[in-house]
Amino acid sequence: MSGQSDEDDQDRDIVRRAVEALDVIDKTFENWLIIGEAFERGRQWATREARTNVPKGRGYNEAFSRWMKRYEAGKLTTIDQAARYRLGKIMENRQAVVAWRQTLTSNQLREWSHPTTVWRRFEAAHNVPDDDAPKKPSHMAQLKESLANALDDNQRLQERMKHAEGSLFDLKRDSAEAIADTMVRNVSDSKAEAIAGWIRKKLKEKKKPAG
């Protein structure tokens, strides 16, 4: 019983840390790894409970679902199945993914943090032929890249909307360009121009000497 109690305490602690990472607005890749570690623990538990050697099948799925609901009011269940799947793939290839991320720019590291984005970009990077001369991407490849960028933007927006009470950007952390881009994409052209006009007007008023 003592061993089972210790294991339960360890599970409770790792889920607590995962939920703390989950509650962070604009989660970093490192936050997602903490969450991934919790899911790995849950998969091990569910595999034992289902008496199976592989994390598949009805018995395993039911056991894993029970595990997610055991701690922290089941907050880990808020992560959708697609994200859990990609996060699982990342954890299986953690060393290679971490090594690949060390080759990215600072902007890419910041923007590519969600499991869906990270795994898609990692796969794409490792499917590129090893060719000395860079080839011009085909029209289809350009369309796929545009779609991937749009999906990345949408994923980041959804993550922020979940935790920022409807705010589309962070005035303290986001760059001026990012804020402007978000506003332009989410309001009509006329309203965006009106906002820009009011900003210029307020700046002029701010610069006027008092009295």
More confident residue, 77 or 138: 77
Are residues 189 and 91 located together in one domain of the fold? no
**Domain range enclosing 141:** 2-128+135-167
| Per-chain mean pLDDT for the chain | 78
What pLDDT score was predicted for residue 172? 59
129 pLDDT more than 50? no
Are residues 105 and 207 located together in one domain of the fold? no
Phi/psi of residue 28, nearest 5 degrees: -85, 170
110 pLDDT more than 50? yes
Are residues 162 and 173 located together in one domain of the fold? no
Q: What does the angle CA 137 – CA 143 – CA 147 come to, to the nearest 5 degrees? A: 130
User: pLDDT of 23-50, one tens digit each?
Assistant: 886 789 999 999 999 999 999 999 999 9
Distance CA 32, CA 22 (A): 8
Average pLDDT for 16-26: 84
Are residues 65 and 148 located together in one domain of the fold? yes
In the chain, how many domains are there? 2
Are residues 161 and 186 located together in one domain of the fold? no
Are residues 44 and 91 located together in one domain of the fold? yes
Go through 156-194 and write b for each residue having 16 or more CB atoms within 10 A of its CB, e for each that does not.
Answer: beebbeeeeeeeebeeeebeeeeebebeeeeeeeeeeee
What pLDDT score was predicted for residue 126? 85
Q: For residues 18 and 35, is the Cβ–Cβ distance under 8 A? A: yes
More confident residue, 24 or 172: 24
Which residues make Cβ contacts (< 8 Å) with residue 84, sequence separation at least 6? 39
More confident residue, 137 or 183: 183
Are residues 69 and 87 located together in one domain of the fold? yes
